């Protein structure tokens, strides 16, 4: 990631250096997720698009844009041009603001009349969303409406049917209702952005009159960064781990010197209250599926003593991994990533010590390091960075920390066996491998966008695309759920192949790294071949598309018994004769009792 684009950033510098920053990003790029974005603008969007591209490229997304003409957002959404149709957007962004509300209430207008205006205004937007969804089937991001800088009625604007504040609030509520009932529709909360930025600073009237910007030029990077967080989340580019220091980060003081009674945490002091609030804030991330880990220079027993402070809320069992020793922190972060089967780039490092932060940045630049001085600033840094933006949340997410703890128990058990095969047998593994069920589509989509290492093609799907794939007779689809005596790992593998007569072409083969070396991939292969036989398939073609992160599966099809057909720098093609395939032995009972 570019230092200049790291949150909190210098907005003025970004606006002045857009071209230079874009060149730097392109020079350092090697791969990335391509994304076609259609921008429907109710005001000027050119600079927003330019800055948005910077933040997206910085997170590994390579965007291509189509932009509507000024204020032609409705016509272009409802009556798309041939140019837009041929563009085939993969994501639509509607950039409107309170200035695009066409019907507004009049003073003393009756409540019924205002309600009719509200319904007509909402219906106009709903028509756009339905049209985009029907014609392009892509995710839609819609700005909600920010409050205007002036209030004609003063405080009476709120709670009065003909007050503009009241009208905008009710219109926003209708947008939120649509979002709750329509998958792939996301609200970009510029109402919050404008308020936190400051309404008077956000609404620079001369920028509207001169350039038709719906917000001040200075606020564009803040706006674009916020928008980029939604897009990154939709495409599964979130971080996965918060690695935490302990002393003066999760509590005040040094546990090794002050002892449990001497550190500050809890309601007794203002400092203790600050750290308690931080711990409560961090603990909530577990519900989102974010893993908490410890990376502290400490004796292990002291670290545990601090985490068991009676007034704290974070306990040792809340952490997927605890590294409390005197090794270099960057080495501990590397080891944490290995133990969790994740890449270092999945980690956000939180430490109060500027020197430690600088060392980690220098030695392990893939890790994101946050800057802060106080617990309050730490919360703002984590909240503002947006690396954990939530657009879709599955049941598996809420259990992720528990799943990783169960993995640690499995690792401890493995050491007791002389034979790895005996260890696998002792796990009593069971798998459910089936076609896609509607209830599982969110998790399946999430896996396709988050899995990078055990992923043969790294093809990405939106939820809408996955739903269409799930309904199409052209595909053979399998998702695998793995459980054992320690617990349920959830859905961990997804396979998609497209039929072509007697041939099956594999478009996606991925597996969560949580279940590496458990032979789940062989269980999936056995079921795939069995499904192919039932469909009259004679040959299966597998494709490996190399990336910087998926080298571990370069020879997977060869291990499966496929024959290599061709290979170049962009793709390796493999082929399997279905009739000659012999099922591979695993220690997993598949679809038992079905």
Question: Domain containing 464 — which CATH number?
Answer: 3.40.630.30
Are 46 and 172 in the same domain?
A: yes
pLDDT at position 401 is: 74
pLDDT at position 149 is: 93
Are 181 and 260 in the same domain?
A: no
Are 227 and 246 in the same domain?
A: no
List 325's β-bridge partners, or say none.
Answer: 297
Residue 105 pLDDT class (50, 70, 90 cuts): very high
What does the alpha-carbon distance between residue 527 and residue 522 come to, in Å, rounded to a whole number? Answer: 9
Q: How many CA atoms lie within 13 A of 168 on its CB side?
A: 21
pLDDT at position 415 is: 81
Are 444 and 531 in the same domain?
A: yes
Residue 408, exposed/middle/buried by CB under 10 A (0-12, 13-18, 19+)?
Answer: middle
Give SS3 for 521. Answer: helix
Does some domain include residue 392? no
The answer to whether the peptide bond before residue 578 is cis (omega within 30 degrees of 0) is no
Are 222 and 284 in the same domain?
A: no
Q: Please, are residues 384 and 8 in contact by the beta-carbon 8 Å criterion?
A: yes
Does some domain include residue 406? no
Find where tokens 């997410």 sit: 397
Are 96 and 193 in the same domain?
A: yes
588 vs 116, 117, 222, 454, 512, CA distance in Å? Answer: 61, 61, 50, 19, 17
Are 218 and 294 in the same domain?
A: no
Find where tokens 């005040």 sit: 252
Does some domain include residue 409? no
Q: Please, are residues 17 and 9 in contact by the beta-carbon 8 Å criterion?
A: no
- Domain-terminating residue out of 200, 234, 268: 234
Does some domain include residue 407? no
DSSP string, 45-58: -HHHHHHHHHHHHH
- The Cβ of residue 490 has, within 10 Å, a number of other Cβ atoms equal to 21
What does the alpha-carbon distance between residue 477 and residue 496 come to, in Å, rounded to a whole number? Answer: 5
pLDDT at position 151 is: 94
- What tokens appear for 492 in the block? 């961990």
Q: Say which residues have a Cβ less than 8 Å from residue 13's Cβ, sequence separation at least 6.
A: 4
Element at 197 (helix H, strand E): helix 190-197
Kindly report the three-state secondary structure assignment for every residue of 141-167: EEECCCCCCCCCCHHHHCCCCCCHHHH
DSSP string, 537-571: --EEEEEE---SS-GGGTTHHHHHTPEEEEE-SS-
CATH value at residue 272: 3.40.50.1000
Q: How far apart are the first and last CA of the chain?
A: 48
Strands 475-484 and 429-434 turn out to be antiparallel
Are 438 and 344 in the same domain?
A: no
Are 210 and 71 in the same domain?
A: yes
Residue 576 pLDDT class (50, 70, 90 cuts): very high
Does some domain include residue 147? yes
Are 27 and 42 in the same domain?
A: yes
- Domain-terminating residue out of 177, 208, 234: 234
- Domain-terminating residue out of 212, 234, 256: 234
Which DSSP letter does residue 502 get? T
CA 35 to chain centre: 15
What does the alpha-carbon distance between residue 36 and residue 163 come to, in Å, rounded to a whole number? Answer: 39
Rg of the chain over Cα atoms, rounded to whole angstroms, equals: 26
What does the alpha-carbon distance between residue 75 and residue 331 come to, in Å, rounded to a whole number? Answer: 56
List 186's β-bridge partners, or say none.
Answer: 141
Residue 593 pLDDT class (50, 70, 90 cuts): low
- Answer yes or no: is pLDDT of 457 > 80: yes
- The Cβ of residue 160 has, within 10 Å, a number of other Cβ atoms equal to 17
Q: At what angle do helices 220-234 and 190-197 cross, to 10 degrees?
A: 140
Element at 273 (helix H, strand E): helix 270-284
The pTM assigned to this predicted structure is: 0.83
Residue 408 pLDDT class (50, 70, 90 cuts): confident
Residue 405 pLDDT class (50, 70, 90 cuts): confident
Are 27 and 12 in the same domain?
A: yes
pLDDT at position 341 is: 84
Element at 75 (helix H, strand E): helix 73-78
Lowest mean pLDDT segment, chosen from 50-64, 92-106, 436-450, 574-588: 436-450
Are 181 and 257 in the same domain?
A: no
Q: What's the structural domain count of the chain?
A: 3
Average predicted confidence (pLDDT) for the chain: 94
CA-based max dimension of the chain? 83
- Answer yes or no: is pLDDT of 403 > 90: no
CATH value at residue 78: 3.40.50.1110
pLDDT at position 115 is: 97
- Answer yes or no: is pLDDT of 450 > 70: yes
Find where tokens 């974005």 sit: 37
Residue 449, exposed/middle/buried by CB under 10 A (0-12, 13-18, 19+)?
Answer: buried
pLDDT at position 287 is: 87
Does some domain include residue 397? no
Does some domain include residue 540? yes
Boundaries of domain holding 355 = 241-385
Q: List Cβ<8 Å contacts ≥24 apart for 577-580.
A: 577/538, 577/539, 578/529, 578/532, 578/533, 578/537, 578/538, 578/539, 578/540, 579/538
pLDDT, tens digit, 9 for 90 and up, residues 261-317:
999 999 999 999 999 999 999 999 998 989 999 999 999 999 999 999 999 999 999
Residue 418 pLDDT class (50, 70, 90 cuts): confident
- Answer yes or no: is pLDDT of 594 > 70: no
Lowest mean pLDDT segment, chosen from 182-191, 283-292, 409-418: 409-418
């Amino acid at each position: 990631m570019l230092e200049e684009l790291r949150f909190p950033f210098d907005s003025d510098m970004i606006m002045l250096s857009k071209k230079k920053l874009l060149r730097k990003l392109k020079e350092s790029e090697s791969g990335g997720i391509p994304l076609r974005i259609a921008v429907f603008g109710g005001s000027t969007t050119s600079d927003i698009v330019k800055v948005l591209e910077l933040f997206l490229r910085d997170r590994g997304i390579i965007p291509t844009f189509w932009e509507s003409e000024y204020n032609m957002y409705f016509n272009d959404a409802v009556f798309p041009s041939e140019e837009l149709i041929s563009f085939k957007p993969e994501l639509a962004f509607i950039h409107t603001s309170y200035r695009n509300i066409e019907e507004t209430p009049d003073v003393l207008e009756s409540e019924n009349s205002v309600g009719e205006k509200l319904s007509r205004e909402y219906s106009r937007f709903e028509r756009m969303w339905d049209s985009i969804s029907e014609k392009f089937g892509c995710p839609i991001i819609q700005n909600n409406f920010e409050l205007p800088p002036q209030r004609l009625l003063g405080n009476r604007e709120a709670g009065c049917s003909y007050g503009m504040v009241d009208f905008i609030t009710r219109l926003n509520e209708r947008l939120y209702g649509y979002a709750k009932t329509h998958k792939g529709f996301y609200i970009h909360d510029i109402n919050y952005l404008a308020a936190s930025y400051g309404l008077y600073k956000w609404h620079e009237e001369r920028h509207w009159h001169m350039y038709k910007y719906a917000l001040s030029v200075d606020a564009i990077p803040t706006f674009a960064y916020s928008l980029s967080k939604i897009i990154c989340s939709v495409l599964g580019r979130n971080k996965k781990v918060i690695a935490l220091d302990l002393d003066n980060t999760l509590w005040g003081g040094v546990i090794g010197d002050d002892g449990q009674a001497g550190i500050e945490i809890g309601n007794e002091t203002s400092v203790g209250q600050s750290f308690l609030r931080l711990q409560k804030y961090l603990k909530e991330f577990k519900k989102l599926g974010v893993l908490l880990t410890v990376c502290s220079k400490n004796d292990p027993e002291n670290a545990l003593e601090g985490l068991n402070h009676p007034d704290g809320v974070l306990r040792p069992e809340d952490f997927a991994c605890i590294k409390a020793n005197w090794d270099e922190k960057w080495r501990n972060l590397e080891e944490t990533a290995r133990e969790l089967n994740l890449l270092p780039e999945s980690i956000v490092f939180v430490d109060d010590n500027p020197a430690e932060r600088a060392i980690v940045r220098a030695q392990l630049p893939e890790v994101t390091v946050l800057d802060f001085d106080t617990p309050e600033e730490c919360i703002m840094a984590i909240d503002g960075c947006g690396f954990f933006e939530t657009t879709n949340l599955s049941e598996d997410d809420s259990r992720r920390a528990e799943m990783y703890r169960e993995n640690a128990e499995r690792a401890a058990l493995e050491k007791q066996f002389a034979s790895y095969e005996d260890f696998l047998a002792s796990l009593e593994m069971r798998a459910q491998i089936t076609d896609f069920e509607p209830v599982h589509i969110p998790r399946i989509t999430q896996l396709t966008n988050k899995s990078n290492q055990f992923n043969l093609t790294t093809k990405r799907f939106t939820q809408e695309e996955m739903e269409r794939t799930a309904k199409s007779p052209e595909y053979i689809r399998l998702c695998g759920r793995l459980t054992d005596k320690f617990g349920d790992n959830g859905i961990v593998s997804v396979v998609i192949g497209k039929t072509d007569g007697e041939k099956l072409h594999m478009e996606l083969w991925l597996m969560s790294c949580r279940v590496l070396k458990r032979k789940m991939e062989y269980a999936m292969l056995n079921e795939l071949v069995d499904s192919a036989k039932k469909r009259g398939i004679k040959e299966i073609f597998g494709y490996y598309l190399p990336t910087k992160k998926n080298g571990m599966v370069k020879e997977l099809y060869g291990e499966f018994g496929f024959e290599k057909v061709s290979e170049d720098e962009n793709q390796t093609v493999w082929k399997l004769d279905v009739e000659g395939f012999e099922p591979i032995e695993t220690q997993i009972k598949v679809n038992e009792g079905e």
